[in-house]
Amino acid sequence: MTTRTTKKSVGKRSAAKSRAGAKRNTSARKIKTGGLKIRMYRVGFGDFFLVTVPTRAGNQYILIDCGVFKGTSGTGDIGSIVEAVEDMYQTTNGRLALVIMTHRHADHIAGFAKAERFKDFTAGMVWMPYWEQFNDKKDSPHNLQFDIGELAAKLAMLFRGREDDDAKEALAQLSNATGIENFSAAATEKKKGGGGNAKALDVLKNHLGENGKKVRYYAANDKPELPSELVGLTARILGPPPQDASAFMALTDLKKGVGQYLDSLTDEDELPKEFHPFPDEWGAHERDYPSQDRLGRAIDYNGIKQKVEDSQPDMLAAAAGKIETFLNNQSLVVLFEFSGKKLLFAGDAQAGNWEYWLFKTKGPVKDPTKAGEMLEASKELLQSIDFYKVGHHGSTNATPIQAVEAAVSRAKSSKGFVSMCSTEFGVYGNPDKGTEVPRSPLMKALADGCSLIRSDSFAITVTDPAKKIIKPAKGVDTTIPTPKTGKLTKANLYIEYSF
């Protein structure tokens, strides 16, 4: 039997081939970056970033941290985070391809506990820093989360009624580490090792992470697994230091004037101030002892007490500071690349985290330049970034000077780069002492060299529970810069940069 080929059938096959060819050409095309966006929500003192990655299947979303913290001033939480999470839900339809928890401080995870809406979210994958898998391991002799709770309980009792800066700072550090906002003795005893952070971690690990099935832990140089829906996106893990470089985790500051935009304190000024670590009711009083020694001489108990107090360093407050440093240096530092655009998210990485991947010294040193110049590869990386999430809210112990200088050289090119700083003026530190957060010299260096956007530089309206306009603090520059490439869009609760 002879098969006849009609013009109509030939036409159908040609049309099919044409469609197939068009499909192949489409898949071969480079993904356009017109839809790549970075959104910074204004929640007060805390990180909350949403990255939109355009794919042929539609927009995919990456959430990087969702936290807020009141700080030493008590003004860091401006009351917008629940509404901001709701806004994100409406944008993403409750589907996040990837959730990144840089580290377990409240100013990075509190939103997961505060916003009940997270129960309606799903995630393709959850990334956490390598060290997080050991922080609350129940069979570990050094359960960090339990130790933090114990320390918080002790400090709450010892600092009862104290209003000095040292007490406020130590308690704020532990409040950030636990998520406990009210350090009354009764509340603290009930929440040892718990607090809001425990609830947030449960949401991250057990709900979004599906009881750990979707959770991945990474350290520097690990090859990360990306969700399949993030087509066209690559990622490099730059920090935290891995297990065989754990010594870097304790390093707070690089050498001032070389390593960071630090305050102007001398080494002597940086020593912890001494105080008597026990409340009066725990100590003996003069009435309990004889007024004279065996030779009949008067005993100066006040003088003796003062000498004892002056000789005792504030060990518990120092421990709080060490925990703060250790958790910050745990921060995941991720470099994303999408269609030639590079985005650097540094979490709250402090000196040890930065030094490990910038210099690759064998061990932590106060001045890494004495051990060698910054790696050429690190310099080239910094000179190629298009976006930088300012480390640690622009504080004194993050963003090395050399990193700024390398990145600013990029800003001087025709492309430039954009940086975003999630912060709130007046929450931490003292400008008169050069300890304010964000640090003024750093903000100036970045603003002079790139398009810098601060989260506290624009007003928002919080409608729940009552309509309230939250304006920038007096003295904060409210100028929204015009980037050399891409554009900035201001909405009620956030500002967004699109390439």
Ramachandran angles phi, psi of 147, nearest 5°? -60, -40
> Rg of the Cα trace of the chain?
26
Instruction: Write down all domains in the chain, each with its CATH number in brackets.
Output: 32-275+311-498 (3.60.15.10)
Determine the Cα–Cα distance for residues 200 and 179; give it in Å rounded to an integer: 9
Beta strands in 42-185 (DSSP E): 48-55, 58-66, 95-96, 98-100, 122-123, 126-129
Closest CA to 333 of 283, 379, 284, 392: 392
Give pLDDT, residue 160. 67
Ramachandran angles phi, psi of 473, nearest 5°? -70, 155
Cβ within 8 Å of residue 353, ≥6 positions away? 239, 240, 241, 248, 249, 328, 329, 330, 331, 333
Give pLDDT, residue 191. 54
Determine the Cα–Cα distance for residues 265 and 495; give it in Å rounded to an integer: 35
Structure tokens at 61: 């979303």
Name the residue with tokens 């107090």: 309
DSSP one-letter string for 313-337: --HHHHHHHHHHHHHHHT--EEEEE
Determine the Cα–Cα distance for residues 349 and 358; give it in Å rounded to an integer: 12
464 close to 430: Cβ distance less than 8 angstroms: no
Cα→Cα distances 383→68, 101, 252, 408, 481, Å: 31, 26, 25, 7, 20
Structure tokens at 376: 């050429």
Closest CA to 129 of 253, 251, 249, 49: 249
91 close to 183: Cβ distance less than 8 angstroms: no
> Which element (helix H / strand E) includes 418?
strand 418-421
Give pLDDT, residue 218. 98
Three-state DSSP class for 290? coil
Q: Angle of helix 401-411 relative to helix 440-449, nearest 10 degrees?
A: 20
166-198 pLDDT, tens per residue? 778 888 888 898 898 876 655 555 555 567 999
Cβ within 8 Å of residue 248, ≥6 positions away? 241, 329, 352, 353, 355, 356, 363, 364
Cβ within 8 Å of residue 268, ≥6 positions away? none
Determine the Cα–Cα distance for residues 224 and 349; give it in Å rounded to an integer: 19
405-429 pLDDT, tens per residue? 877 777 676 677 899 999 999 998 8
Q: Give me the sign of the Cα torsion angle 308, 309, 311, 314.
A: positive
Determine the Cα–Cα distance for residues 402 and 382; give it in Å rounded to an integer: 10
Counting as low any pLDDT under 70, the low residues of the chain are 1-34, 138-143, 160-161, 183-194, 253-316, 369-373, 411, 413-414
Determine the Cα–Cα distance for residues 111 and 68; give it in Å rounded to an integer: 7
Cα→Cα distances 261→265, 379, 384, Å: 12, 18, 22
Determine the Cα–Cα distance for residues 168 and 228; give it in Å rounded to an integer: 46
198 close to 148: Cβ distance less than 8 angstroms: no
Residue 372 gets which letter from DSSP? -
237 close to 332: Cβ distance less than 8 angstroms: yes
pTM, to two decimals? 0.82
